[in-house]
Amino acid sequence: MDSTKITRPMRKVLNLKLKYCGAVIVAAGSASRMGGIDKIMAPLGGEPVIVRTVRQFQDCDAIREIVIVTRPDLILPVMDLCHGFDKVKAVVVGGETRDASVIMGMNTLSAKCRLVAVQDGARPFAGWQLIDRVVRAANSYGAAAPAIPVKDTIKVVQGGIVKQTPDRATLQAVQTPQVFDMQLLRGALKKAKKDELVLTDDCSAVEHMGMSVKIVEGDEKNIKITTPFDMKIAELILEEGK
């Protein structure tokens, strides 16, 4: 038997250089469903929600700079809370709509940014590993978002009547951060505004242009705090983490 060792050529793995990525953290909402509580300033484990959200991006090496978009009355409080995060380059006033706030944040990022990560200010549990995962996917595909499979059966309802029941196996609940090529998102938001499209997330604007969005594994703990009940869930998540 020939004992000569047979070597096979190694497969080449395409490793794209990670583009410079800035983050826009949108915290300009009215918190109308929080029963008078300002969700981004609400204490969670002794720290405001916005601080916990920003820290996740501060701790992620894939994020190079951060801009926070908020309400006029929160500019100074948020600046004071985030002065210790050296990646935070600015805190600016948002627009009348979410997409307008995103555009204002993008316009404030430095010209070095080739990717932009858009994050809800009230999602304090998007860990740096999740952020890194989405940034790297967007680096390859141009647009990416985290998502988790839905657990409930979803019904399409009109006028109180069920019109359709989509196959649950095809449905996923999309989270943030959503990360995009900077110019792609800028063009998508411009077209969405021109077409008077009502957006619930930034992926919708990109999809409206006929572009694909890469979905990566999300995290059940990456909840968005919208109601007082969500705050209770957030406290349980925090306690479990301890």
pLDDT of the residue at 123:
97
Is pLDDT of 13 > 50?
no
Average pLDDT rounded to a whole number, residues 73-94: 95
pLDDT of the residue at 156:
96
Exposure letters 200-228 (e unless 16+ CB within 10 A, then b): ebbbbbbeeeebebebbebeebbbbbbee
- In degrees, rounded to 5, the angle at the alpha carbon of residue 160 between the alpha carbons of residues 165 and 230 is 80
Residue bearing the bigger pLDDT, 12 or 149: 149
Mean pLDDT of the chain: 91
**Pairing verdict, β 65-70 and 21-27:** parallel
pLDDT-derived band of residue 11, with 50, 70 and 90 as boundaries? very low
Is pLDDT of 34 > 70?
no
Could you tell me if 92 and 68 are in contact, meaning their C-beta atoms sit under 8 angstroms apart? Answer: yes
3-state secondary structure 55-77: HHHHCCCCCCEEEEEECHHHHHH
pLDDT of the residue at 111:
97
pLDDT of the residue at 242:
66
Nearest to 228 by CA among 27, 33, 40: 33
Nearest to 208 by CA among 189, 234, 221: 189
Average pLDDT rounded to a whole number, residues 202-226: 96
Q: Which of helix, strand or coil describes residue 221?
A: coil
pLDDT of the residue at 15:
60
Q: How far apart are CA 136 and CA 24, in angstroms?
A: 17
Could you tell me if 181 and 140 are in contact, meaning their C-beta atoms sit under 8 angstroms apart? Answer: no
Q: What is the pTM of this model?
A: 0.89
- Interacting residues of 165 by C-beta distance below 8 A, sequence separation 6+: 153, 154, 155, 156
Question: For a pLDDT cut of 70, what percent of the chain falls above it?
Answer: 90
Q: Which of helix, strand or coil describes residue 162?
A: strand
Summarize pLDDT for 162-193 with one digit per residue, the tens. 999 999 999 999 999 999 999 999 999 999 99
pLDDT of the residue at 31:
61
Summarize pLDDT for 212-223 with one digit per residue, the tens. 999 999 999 999
Residue that has been written with the tokens 């210790």 in this structure: 84
Is pLDDT of 122 > 70?
yes
